[in-house]
Structure 1
Amino acid sequence: MQQVKAVVARAKGAPVEVTTINVPDPGPGEAVVQVQACGVCHTDLHYREGGINDEFPFLLGHEAAGIVESVGEGVTTVAPGDFVVLNWRAVCGDCRACNRGEPQYCFNTHNATQKMTLAEGDDAGTELSPALGIGAFAEKTLVAAGQCTKVDPEARPAAVGLLGCGVMAGLGAAINTGETTRGKSAAVIGCGGVGMAAIAGAALSGASPVIAVDIDAKKLEKAPGFGATHTIDSSKVDPVEEIKRICAEVYPGAEGADVVIEAVGRPETWKQAFYARDLAGTVVLVGVPTPDMKVPDLPLIDVFGRGGSLKSSWYGDCLPSRDFPMLTDLYTSGRLDLDAFVSEEIGIDDIEAAFEKMHQGEVLRSVVMFT
């Protein structure tokens, strides 16, 4: 066992603390990773606010890249010294989804068996709940070996670590879930980190036009840099009608976009996405709603009459072992600008300030650097 500095949320709504934690030596199927960089994701704030569950204290952080320090018995997929991106989908290989050849939908993903614990204070020894089974706002963390995906060691940790959650969620929502491709149009409602990644994914796949929708003019100014061909300020115009108009100009007769990605997670914007898609088009929900939100009231005849698909995208329907190395290679070859998602590099003591910047929409991603 070793002791390292880490960021912990002890109680709902309380500011996070930098404290010392105990990291066990890896057991069978586990690995200890020396974290180099970890993005500050909105999901971490959800944990702090009690929006995920109440299993405090939480060890926050999950969008991370680092170096495998040690592995436990039976681990063959990674070795000490490997540069890895951490993921929260360690597939089991033997559930119904895995057995039918769709491990990206694994029903039995798993995390490390042992628990990291608090190392100081009156509650020393208390088990920590790692965010998304990772807990990477820490100098080192313990994960299941299947949560480690080897990628090109020449890649910048601050950039490729973001594939661990938000960027992969957006890219995958467009490419994997929405199946954007040449000859299809795409619209993305919500231009935060996930939405910008969805725009980048749609552009990378060859979709055109790629339409960015938001109420924040600053975000819309950045959207063309990620691949948007058009922008819509939905605080000033009806986004549904604008999406229809733009798509009809490119594809005469179109009644909306072929794929509309909702990256906000609200009933109002999901309803906009529903009516902004073309006949037989696809709606993808990747924005995370709160538990109290309901599907908006829609005439069932509209659901039936428009055809197509209404999908939700969980982690961009990704398979880390397949997608992370591919996307890293696109990054290192200059075809996918992951650096553009890194708004700032910060220290471990700056996470509360990063939460506030994220809440105010001032950053796509703040990234905590450990080396």
Structure 2
Amino acid sequence: MPHEVRAVVAMKKGAPVEVQTIVVPDPGPGEVLVSVQACGVCHTDLHYREGAINDDFPFLLGHEAAGTIEAIGADVTDLAPGDYVVLAWRAPCGACRSCLRGRPWYCFDSRNAARPMTLLDGTPLSPALGIGAFAEKTLVAAGQAVKVDPAARPEAAGLIGCGVMAGYGAAVNTGRVGRGDTVAVIGCGGVGNAAIAGASLAGARRVIAVDIDEAKLDGATRFGATHTVNSRGTDPVDAVRELTGGFGVDVAIDAVGTPSTYKQAFYMRDHAGVLVQVGVPDPEMTIDLPLIDLFSRGGALKSSWYGDCLPTRDFPILVDQYLSRRLDLGAFVSETITLDQVEEAFGRMHRGEVLRSVVVL
């Protein structure tokens, strides 16, 4: 029997979101119905609302979520009603050329639910990142629901599903930060602070936070930054080099995603250092670097997609680190809100007033 639930919908480009009643079907083969307990407000949801992802309106927003399994479809054997899960927007298929080569974090055919969620008039909804969790219930592929320890508070655990995993994984999985490394992270929002936390937990001896906002820099120390650089009035490349004996860092992480921050990360690396870009750029942005610098400085330039994570492996690890008080997920939660307050939360996020607003249902 279909379920009528309240949800946040973006009906057209640039228009304020609306809370509407939508229809969520029962799960089909390989799908699960999830009762959403909490969902973070992420920049990606705002990008959907603005039409910056694609124009497949109307969108069912929300994707950084935790909840419980309410029902399972045929052929689902590893989940059961009542299981506590964090939702992932990558569910490796196991059969594409990347999965078959042992690189499921690059899966080219990630699974989503096949049955559509709709408006009351039957109009199909496009769920953000294949999830759509600003809703009392949502339908996802079983592989998108990752079982974790139910002791984790949902408003904290849900953030692992996107921003925290992206930043943490940029440092640990993509950048391969190791014991004794030096690291710089440009941009101290949710993703940047997660990268700082990941670098610290990986054993970096020096983690330098770079931002133009002094309040954000103060907050970065809570996640493990050992030094801070305010780049509003200081050349961050010179400052980072000064903090590393003139050499630069082993790993520089751009959590902003602009040409200027990418160049800063490129030049603040040590010789043969690693640059990791995890901040998502505007599609129209371009960058110009001297080819001789690309050649002579060596090292690696990497893009980090979802922190190069494998959700079934990494989500439980991060939850365990949270429960053992090594990873302060609660520090990412700036406020808890209702479905009716998502539009206002977009404004606070855009102005940089919060790390994460979290919808609690």
Q: Please indicate, yes or no, whether the TM-score normalized by the shorter chain is above 0.5.
A: yes
Match for residue 221 of structure 2?
224
Give 1:67 deviation, angstroms: 0.2
1:321 paired to 2:333 = no
Q: Is the 8 A contact 1:77 1:146 kept in 2?
A: no
Match for residue 154 of structure 2?
157
Match for residue 119 of structure 2?
118
Partner letter of residue 46 of structure 2? L
Determine helix, strand or coil for the equivalent of 1:207. coil
Match for residue 99 of structure 2?
98
Match for residue 337 of structure 1?
328
Give 1:256 deviation, angstroms: 0.6
Match for residue 9 of structure 2?
8
Partner letter of residue 340 of structure 2? D
Give 1:102 deviation, angstroms: 1.5
Q: Is the 8 A contact 1:33 1:70 kept in 2?
A: yes
Determine helix, strand or coil for the equivalent of 1:343. strand
1:98-123 CA distances to partner (integer Å, 9 max, x unpaired)?
Answer: 1121211111102000100001xxxx
Match for residue 26 of structure 2?
25
Determine helix, strand or coil for the equivalent of 2:4. strand
Match for residue 69 of structure 2?
68
1:305-331 CA distances to partner (integer Å, 9 max, x unpaired)?
Answer: 111000000000000000000110111
Partner letter of residue 12 of structure 2? A
Match for residue 251 of structure 1?
none
Determine helix, strand or coil for the equivalent of 2:288. coil
1:348 paired to 2:339 = yes
Taking the aligned partners of 1:215 and 1:330, their CA distance within structure 2 comes to 30
Determine helix, strand or coil for the equivalent of 2:155. helix
Taking the aligned partners of 1:112 and 1:348, their CA distance within structure 2 comes to 23
Which of 185, 188, 193 aligns to 1:188? It is: 185
Give 1:240 deviation, angstroms: 0.2
1:133 paired to 2:133 = no
Determine helix, strand or coil for the equivalent of 1:50. coil
Taking the aligned partners of 1:361 and 1:218, their CA distance within structure 2 comes to 10
Determine helix, strand or coil for the equivalent of 1:202. helix
Which of 201, 206, 210 aligns to 1:209? It is: 206
Taking the aligned partners of 1:162 and 1:279, their CA distance within structure 2 comes to 35
Taking the aligned partners of 2:223 and 2:170, their CA distance within structure 1 comes to 15
Match for residue 78 of structure 1?
79
Taking the aligned partners of 1:219 and 1:172, their CA distance within structure 2 comes to 21
Give 1:77 deviation, angstroms: 2.0
Taking the aligned partners of 2:322 and 2:220, their CA distance within structure 1 comes to 18
Match for residue 300 of structure 2?
309
Taking the aligned partners of 1:289 and 1:297, their CA distance within structure 2 comes to 15
Match for residue 142 of structure 2?
145
Partner letter of residue 227 of structure 2? H
1:242 paired to 2:243 = no
Give 1:96 deviation, angstroms: 1.4
1:249-305 CA distances to partner (integer Å, 9 max, x unpaired)?
Answer: xxxxx52100000000100110010000000100000000011011x2111111111
1:255 paired to 2:256 = no
Taking the aligned partners of 1:163 and 1:147, their CA distance within structure 2 comes to 13
1:43 paired to 2:41 = no
Taking the aligned partners of 2:274 and 2:79, their CA distance within structure 1 comes to 38
Taking the aligned partners of 2:54 and 2:111, their CA distance within structure 1 comes to 18
Partner letter of residue 203 of structure 2? G
> Which consecutive residues of structure 1, in runs of 5 or more, have no partner in the other structure?
249-253
Which of 133, 151, 168 aligns to 1:171? It is: 168
Taking the aligned partners of 1:208 and 1:75, their CA distance within structure 2 comes to 44
1:357 paired to 2:354 = no
Match for residue 259 of structure 2?
267
Which of 262, 268, 271 aligns to 1:276? It is: 268
1:13-67 CA distances to partner (integer Å, 9 max, x unpaired)?
Answer: 1000000000001000000000000000000000000000000000000000000
Residue correspondences, number: 360
1:167-197 CA distances to partner (integer Å, 9 max, x unpaired)?
Answer: 1000000000001111210000011110011
Give 1:236 deviation, angstroms: 1.0
Taking the aligned partners of 2:45 and 2:349, their CA distance within structure 1 comes to 11
- The alignment's TM-score, normalised by the length of structure 1, stands at 0.96
Taking the aligned partners of 1:186 and 1:205, their CA distance within structure 2 comes to 11
Taking the aligned partners of 1:190 and 1:327, their CA distance within structure 2 comes to 21
Compute the RMSD of aligned alpha carbons: 0.7
Compare 91-100 and 303-312 and name the one that shifted more: 91-100
Partner letter of residue 106 of structure 1? C
Determine helix, strand or coil for the equivalent of 2:164. helix
Partner letter of residue 313 of structure 2? R
Determine helix, strand or coil for the equivalent of 1:213. strand
Q: Is the 8 A contact 1:357 1:363 kept in 2?
A: yes
Q: Is the 8 A contact 1:177 1:284 kept in 2?
A: yes
Taking the aligned partners of 2:71 and 2:91, their CA distance within structure 1 comes to 18
Taking the aligned partners of 2:198 and 2:239, their CA distance within structure 1 comes to 22
Taking the aligned partners of 2:78 and 2:284, their CA distance within structure 1 comes to 41
Taking the aligned partners of 1:242 and 1:366, their CA distance within structure 2 comes to 32
Determine helix, strand or coil for the equivalent of 1:33. strand
Determine helix, strand or coil for the equivalent of 2:244. helix
